[in-house]
């Protein structure tokens, strides 16, 4: 247990918590309507642009303090990204609600291409960047080495934790959450009991988009750079995290994200970064061989 190991742990956890936030969008949508929303990575990408726009507008109006800046940007990004989530669901998925299962999958891929190209055309193909918002870092001496924890990373860990806690509360303890769980268990029964299932499905898309928006703001803060293609790789990683943790399961998505992030970082640190993706996907294969439902997923039972 030395400084390097701990530093890789920190790297992995920050990366993993962001994967987890995005994975939530995949897993919730899958849980409720049984489809993979391939446009979700692009929703994250849109939110990265929105975060930069929010920051620019707020700084233009002379907002200097970090907490106001980030709070304002967060609220703005979450609301607008939520609207994106809602609109995407209305346009691309709702009309296909009762068609074959493949149809919404194809329209999801189409949606993802539309979003990519729309952002590329409207914002330009250039790399976008934002300056560092939160300067400075903590440094702990561990054995012969040290662990460097930038304030940005600390903020990401804290914000991701708060975001996940708020989501857990929402799903477990509120009426909306109870309705979401009811629709997930049995959509027809829920609608017989008077739940407006279409509205619940829409809110799930909004919640997923809001989580992606949180991730978008955090990543933009941390790496300071993004482009219209940024959603692709991270979307695939987050989807992997959702499957790893058991698709359909919320705690599974968070756990899957953290495991994936830490596994990548530790492997890159100890062995070789050329093969880190090979390693994380081998891990996924292994877990799926022994637990096909994922780590925390419920086994699929055919109802008779």
Partner 1 sequence: MSGKAKTYLVSATLAATLVSGVVHADVVIGVAGPMTGTYAAYGDQMWRGASAAADEINSSGGINGEKIRLVKGDDVCDPKQAVAVANRLIDSDKVSAVVGHFCSSSTIPANEIYADAGVISMTPAATNPQVTERGLPTVFRNCGRDDQQGTVAGDYIADVLKAKRVVLIHDKDTYGQGLVDATKIELNKKGVKEVLYEGLTRGEKDFNSLVTKVRALNADVVYFGGLHPEAGPLVRQLREQGVTAKFVSGDGVVNDEMLGAAGGPKYVDGVLMTFGKDPRNSSAGKAVIEKFRTSGYEPEGFTLYSYTSVQALAAAFSATKGTNGEKAAQWLKSHPVPTAMGIKEWDSKGDLKVSDYVMYQWGSDGKYKQL
List residues near partner 1 by CB under 8 A.
Answer: 4, 7-8, 11-12, 14-15, 120, 124-132, 137, 139, 145, 148, 150, 219, 223-227, 229-230, 232-233, 264-266, 268-269, 272-274, 276-277
Q: Give CA separation, 4 vs 140, 143, 151, 154, in Å.
A: 12, 10, 19, 18
| DSSP-based three-state secondary structure for 141 | strand
Nearer to partner 1, 170 or 232 (CB): 232
Please, which residues have CB within 8 angstroms of residue 188's CB and are 6 or more apart in sequence?
A: none
Say if residues 25 and 209 touch (Cβ distance below 8 Å): yes
Nearer to partner 1, 177 or 269 (CB): 269
As measured in angstroms, the least distance from the Cβ of 170 to partner 1 is 28
| DSSP-based three-state secondary structure for 4 | helix
As measured in angstroms, the least distance from the Cβ of 227 to partner 1 is 5
Nearer to partner 1, 93 or 228 (CB): 228
As measured in angstroms, the least distance from the Cβ of 114 to partner 1 is 15
Q: What is the DSSP letter of 128?
A: E
Say if residues 17 and 161 touch (Cβ distance below 8 Å): yes
SS3 assignment for 179-230 = HHHHHHHCHHHHHHCCCCHHHHHHHHHHHHHHHHHHHHHHHHHHHCEECCCH
What is the radius of gyration, based on Cα positions, of the chain?
Answer: 19
Phi, psi dihedral angles at 225 (to 5 degrees): -145, 145
C-alpha span between 200 and 208 (Å, rounded): 12
As measured in angstroms, the least distance from the Cβ of 158 to partner 1 is 18
Nearer to partner 1, 139 or 303 (CB): 139
Helix (H) or strand (E) segment spanning residue 138: strand 137-142
C-alpha span between 44 and 31 (Å, rounded): 20
Nearer to partner 1, 259 or 268 (CB): 268
Nearer to partner 1, 150 or 240 (CB): 150
As measured in angstroms, the least distance from the Cβ of 56 to partner 1 is 13
Nearer to partner 1, 4 or 105 (CB): 4
| DSSP-based three-state secondary structure for 142 | strand
As measured in angstroms, the least distance from the Cβ of 77 to partner 1 is 18
As measured in angstroms, the least distance from the Cβ of 130 to partner 1 is 7
């Amino acid at each position: 247990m030395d400084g390097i190991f701990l530093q890789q742990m920190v790297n992995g956890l920050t990366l993993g918590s962001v994967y987890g936030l995005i994975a939530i969008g995949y897993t919730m949508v899958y849980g409720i309507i049984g489809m993979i929303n391939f446009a979700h990575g692009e929703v994250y990408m849109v939110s990265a642009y929105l975060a930069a726009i929010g920051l620019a507008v707020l700084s233009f109006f002379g907002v200097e303090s970090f907490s106001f800046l980030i709070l304002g940007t967060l609220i703005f990004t979450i609301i607008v990204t939520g609207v994106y989530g809602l609109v995407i669901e209305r346009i691309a998925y709702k009309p296909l609600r009762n068609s074959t299962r493949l149809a919404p999958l194809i329209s999801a891929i189409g949606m993802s291409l539309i979003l990519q190209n729309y952002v590329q055309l409207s914002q330009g193909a250039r790399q976008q960047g934002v300056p560092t918002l939160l300067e400075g870092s903590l440094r702990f001496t561990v054995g012969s080495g040290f662990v460097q924890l930038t304030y940005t990373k600390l903020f990401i860990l804290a914000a991701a934790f708060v975001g996940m806690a708020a989501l857990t509360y929402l799903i477990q303890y509120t009426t909306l959450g109870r309705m979401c769980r009811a629709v997930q268990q049995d959509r027809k029964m829920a609608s017989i009991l008077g739940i407006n299932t279409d509205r619940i499905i829409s809110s799930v898309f909004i919640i997923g988009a809001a989580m992606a928006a949180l991730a978008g703001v955090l990543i933009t803060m941390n790496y300071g750079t993004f482009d219209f293609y940024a959603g692709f790789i991270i979307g695939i990683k987050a989807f992997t995290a959702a499957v790893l943790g058991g698709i359909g399961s919320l705690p599974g998505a968070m756990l899957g994200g953290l495991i994936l992030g830490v596994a990548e970082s530790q492997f890159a640190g100890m062995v070789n970064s050329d093969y880190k993706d090979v390693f994380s996907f081998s891990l996924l294969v292994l877990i799926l061989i022994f637990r096909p439902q994922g780590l925390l997923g419920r086994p699929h039972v055919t109802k008779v």
